[in-house]
Structure 1
Amino acid sequence: MTAIISTQTHDHLVKYLSTATGRDRIHRFVQYFSRFLVWHGQRNGYDKDLLARLTNLMGALGQTRKLMRVGRQVEFLRTIQKAAGLKDDVTRLTTIVKNTFLSLWLAHDTCQWVSCVRAIALASGASPL
């Protein structure tokens, strides 16, 4: 991967992708607060239309958070690349294992998002739109 893209380009990409952390926290707060309001509203008999809109907001924010994580695998792959040069065997091994699984998790998360928004055709042959 280093032969294709320079390490400086990797570092700039990782820095850009890391700026979504604050936005993710705000989205997560609103998403979970909406979940609380739906729960509270169901217990206290709030308007069904309001509850449906809050439920839709929760789903949209969840998908937006997944979209913001698309491509962050590069950050963990870059960390694996840097960890290969560490002298301490235990630190190198644990860093590589941790970041490998985080990268795989984010790749799976991206596949879920792509499937959920139907950006690719499903295996059953259904139309993506």
Structure 2
Amino acid sequence: MDSWVRFNAQSQAKERVIRAAQYACTLLGHTLQKGGSMAELHRTVSQLEAHMSMTRKLLRLGNSVEALEAAKRAIHLSDGVLRLCLTLSHLNRAMYFVCDNVLWAGKVGLVSKLDQHKWSQRSFRYYLFALILNLTRDVYELRLLIEHEGPYRPSKPPCSPSTTLSSRSTPATSARICRKLHLLMTVLYSNPPLLLDLLKNGCDLFIPLDRLGIYPTGSGFVGACGLVSSVLSILTVVHPWLKLKP
């Protein structure tokens, strides 16, 4: 099992590079279509994107095993919130990969009469649930770090006895918001792995929302979000210390 996980990790690195290229093609295709470029060029880019999608599906064969192994590790975490979020997230990822594998089998003809739309929607639902859980985990860790930095204790602003309540409250509220934002930025700046994970999951969230029709944004925006999140994922492979743990 350990050998398979190590082999799968190498495949995932290649998959992330191909993912970045795929979403770059998505963004380029949208740009070409919007710019009224030659139909043949747009068709070539679309075909290249489809080929990369199939290659990614091939590289993701067996990723459900790695996701289940990650869920087995996460279930032993001491923090209850992290244990719940990460375990359920990995289980949803495992189901997403299973659906993805079924889709691949259908596209290459191994499974006949497969309802690809139904399986695609099902896979994106699992993907969406996993991302929501990942973002919940990120927000929870961010809250813990902010509390660790020290709770905000607003100092009473100086004011004269003749100052009205409304005139005092507006500057005090603005100062409180500025201090909270400064604390938030300080915490994120001091924790690059958490910042990258938040950005990556935030970008990825728009992909299933668009594909499921919950919040349609268009292929151009989806391509840009997918490209950004893919580049951030590649950074965590090149620099492992940037990967959020556990």
TM-score, normalisation: structure 2:
0.41
Over aligned residue pairs, what C-alpha RMSD do you find? 2.3
**What is residue 19 of structure 2 aligned with on the other side?**
28
User: What is the count of residue pairs matched by the alignment?
Assistant: 114
Shift of residue 89 of structure 1?
6.9
What is the deviation of 1:88? 2.7
2:70 corresponds to 1:88: no
DSSP-derived class of the 1:19 partner: helix
Shift of 1:94: 4.0
**Does residue 105 in structure 1 map to residue 130 in structure 2?**
no
Deviation for aligned residue 1:123: 5.8
Match of 1:38 among 17, 24, 29: 29
Write the letter of the residue equivalent to 1:110: N
The gaps in structure 1 that reach 5 residues or longer are 1-9, 125-129
Task: Rate the CA distance shift 1:93–1:16 in 2: closer, same or farther, 3 A.
Answer: same
| Deviation, structure 1 residue 50 | 1.3
1:69 Cα deviation (Å)?
A: 0.7
Change (3 A) 1:47 1:88: same
TM (norm. structure 1) is 0.74
Provide, for residues 88-112 of structure 1, a one-character-per-residue CA deviation record: whole Å limited to 9, x for no partner. 3725444432222211111111111
Structure with the larger helix share: 2
Matches within 5 A, 1:1-129: 10-83=1-74, 86=76, 88=78, 90=80, 91-122=82-113
Greater C-alpha Rg: 2
Q: Provide the rounded CA distance (Å) in 2 between the counterparts of 1:73 and 1:89.
A: 24
Corresponding position of 2:174: none
CA distance in 2 between counterparts of 1:31 and 1:82 reads 31
Aligned identity (percent) is: 24
Closer, same or farther in 2 for the Cα pair 1:58/1:89, shift >3 Å?
A: same
Provide the rounded CA distance (Å) in 2 between the counterparts of 1:12 and 1:20: 13
- Equivalents in 1 of 2:85, 2:31: separation in Å? 43
Matches of 1:83 and 1:97, distance apart in 2:
9
